[in-house]
Amino acid sequence: MTERAPVTLPRLAEMKEAGEPIVMVTAYDYPSARVAEEAGVDLALVGDTAAMVVLGYPGTEAVSMDEMIMLGKAVRRGVKTPLMVGDMPMGSYESSNELAVQSAQRLVKETGCQVVKLEAGGIAVERARAIVRSGIPVMGHVGLTPQSINTIGSFRAQGREESDWGRIEDDALAVAQAGAFSMVIEAVAEPLARKLTGTVPIPTIGIGASVACDGQVLVLEDMLGLSPRVPKFVKRYGDLGPGIEKAIASYAAEVRARSFPGPEHTYPMKGKKP
C-alpha cells in the first residue's frame, strides 16, 4: 500500500468541496486504532460512546475525563494517518469557557489528539467558540446529542417533523459560525441532513443521518457485531462476536483436556525433543 499523507483540516475541506466521502470510525484502544490505521480511514474518533461500548456504563454521561485520556493515549499509539478526534465528556466543558478551554487543552496535550469534539447546541456553541479561539480545532455534534439524554428523554431520531427543524438548523449554523471545522449530525431525518449539508460550509459527518452527509461515522464495535446495541442506523459489516466466543470456548476445552499447550508450544531443554 502506498504511504498516505496524514489527514489535515484543509484536506477535509477539500474533500467536501470535491464531493469525496469522508470516513470516520471510533477507536478506543491500541488494537482498534491500528486496525483503523491499516484500513485507511480519514478520522479516528475516541468517542464518549466508549462509556457503554468498552467500559460497560449505562450511558455516555458516566465517563470521566481521566478515562477518556487513558483511552486516547492508547489510540494515539496506534494511529498516524487519520486525524485523531478526542471527544469531550459530559462535565468537561458546559459550565464555563475557561473550563472548556482547559479540558480541550488537557485532551490535546495528554492524548495527542489533534482536534476535539463536543455536543454543541445552545450554550455549548459559546464553549466551542472559546476552544477554537484558544487554537484548538473543534468538531461539533448536532441532532441527537446523547449527553442530553436526561433532557430529551430517549434516543429517538430528530427532525422527523418539520416543526423540529428550526432548532437543529440553528444549532448547526451556530456551530459553523463558531469556527468548527466539521460537525457530526446524529440520528436526523434524511431531508434535514441533506439541507444542513448543503447549507453549512464545513464537512458534515453523519451517523444515522443518511447518505446525504459529506461523510459517515460508525462505532467500530457496532459495525463488527461486538456490541449488543444495534440502533437502526448501524450496518453490521462483520459478526465477530460468535467467532471470538467460539475461539475462547475451544481454548477452554483444550486447557481442560490438557491438549493445550502441545509440544509445538513448549520449550524443550536444549538438544532434547519436548
Which residue in the block uniquely carries the three cell numbers 467558540? 129
Q: Strand ranges (DSSP E) for the chain?
A: 22-26, 43-46, 83-87, 115-117, 138-143, 182-186, 204-207, 215-218
Report the residue number, 154 or 163, with the smaller CB distance to ligand KIV: 154
Q: Which of 37, 67, 119, 186 is catalytic?
A: 186
Q: Are 75 and 46 in contact (CB under 8 A)?
A: yes
Report the residue number, 25 or 108, with the smaller CB distance to ligand KIV: 25
**Shortest spacing between CB 258 and ligand KIV, in angstroms:** 43
Q: Are 7 and 42 in contact (CB under 8 A)?
A: yes
Residue 153, by phi and psi: left (phi above 0), alpha (psi -120 to 50) or beta? left
Distance of CA 93 to the CA centre of its chain: 18
User: Looking at the chain, how many residues does it have?
Assistant: 274
**Is 67 part of the annotated catalytic residue set?**
no
**Residues of the shown chain interacting with ligand KIV in the complex, contacts defined by CB under 6 A:** 26, 45, 47-49, 87, 141, 184, 186, 207, 217, 219
Report the residue number, 63 or 192, with the smaller CB distance to ligand KIV: 63
**Shortest spacing between CB 119 and ligand KIV, in angstroms:** 8
**Shortest spacing between CB 20 and ligand KIV, in angstroms:** 20
Spatial separation of the C-alpha atoms in residues 142 and 172, rounded to whole Å: 6
Q: At what angle do helices 30-39 and 65-78 cross, to 10 degrees?
A: 50
Q: Are 41 and 112 in contact (CB under 8 A)?
A: no
Report the residue number, 128 or 184, with the smaller CB distance to ligand KIV: 184
Bridge partner list, 206: 185, 216
Which residues are identified as catalytic? 186
